[in-house]
């Protein structure tokens, strides 16, 4: 099936450019006439993912595949990985530094928000290897 494939490098340690991939995907979805509510959901999830990669993984890749009936976003990094995914999924759990918190991030809501706002959410992580998140929003 024909679909739109988009790939972005997310620059690590750069809070200024974080969100650029999300902005581009949002713009693309808008152009396709996708329901704004659905755009909002995937945009929140994707932005949280971008920020996570900046905070924890020194950047990574954001990949979006847009089909007729859904968008699938993958966030792939080669960061330190997550030792205890269940713990990381708990709202309020965060390992972010004070510096990151002073920017308004690190509330421990990133992963929970990503799960909350998407229809499908999968996370695989290996300590020392990296993290791979796949999330889907159905239109």
109 contributes a contact to another protein by CB under 8 A? yes
6 contributes a contact to another protein by CB under 8 A? no
10 contributes a contact to another protein by CB under 8 A? no
Q: Alpha-carbon distance 99 to 91, whole Å?
A: 20
Q: Is 41 a known active-site residue?
A: no
Catalytic residue among 41, 50, 52, 115: 52
**Of the candidates 76, 79, 91, 87, the residue with the CA atom closest to the CA atom of residue 122:** 76
Catalytic residue among 7, 23, 101, 122: 101
> Which residue blocks in the chain are alpha helix, DSSP H?
20-31, 36-56, 85-88, 98-102, 110-116
Q: Tell me which residues in 34-63 interact with another protein (CB under 8 A).
A: 36, 40, 43-44, 47-48
The secondary structure of the chain in percent helix, strand, coil, rounded to multiples of 5, reads 35, 30, 35
Residues identified as active-site:
48, 52, 101
Q: Which residues bind another protein (CB under 8 A)?
A: 15-16, 18-19, 22-23, 26, 36, 40, 43-44, 47-48, 103-105, 107, 109-110, 113, 116-117
């Amino acid at each position: 099936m024909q679909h739109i494939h988009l790939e972005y490098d997310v620059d690590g340690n750069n809070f200024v450019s974080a969100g650029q991939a999300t902005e581009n995907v949002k713009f693309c979805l808008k152009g396709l006439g996708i329901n704004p509510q659905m755009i909002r959901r995937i945009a929140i999830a994707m932005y949280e993912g971008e920020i996570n990669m900046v905070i924890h993984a020194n950047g990574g890749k954001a990949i979006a595949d847009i089909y007729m009936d859904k968008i699938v976003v993958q966030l792939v990094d080669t960061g330190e990985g997550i030792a205890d995914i269940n713990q990381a999924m708990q709202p309020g759990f965060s390992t972010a530094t004070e510096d990151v918190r002073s920017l308004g991030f690190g509330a421990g809501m990133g992963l929970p928000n990503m799960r909350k706002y998407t229809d499908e959410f999968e996370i695989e992580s290996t300590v020392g290897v990296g993290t791979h998140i796949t999330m889907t929003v159905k239109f």
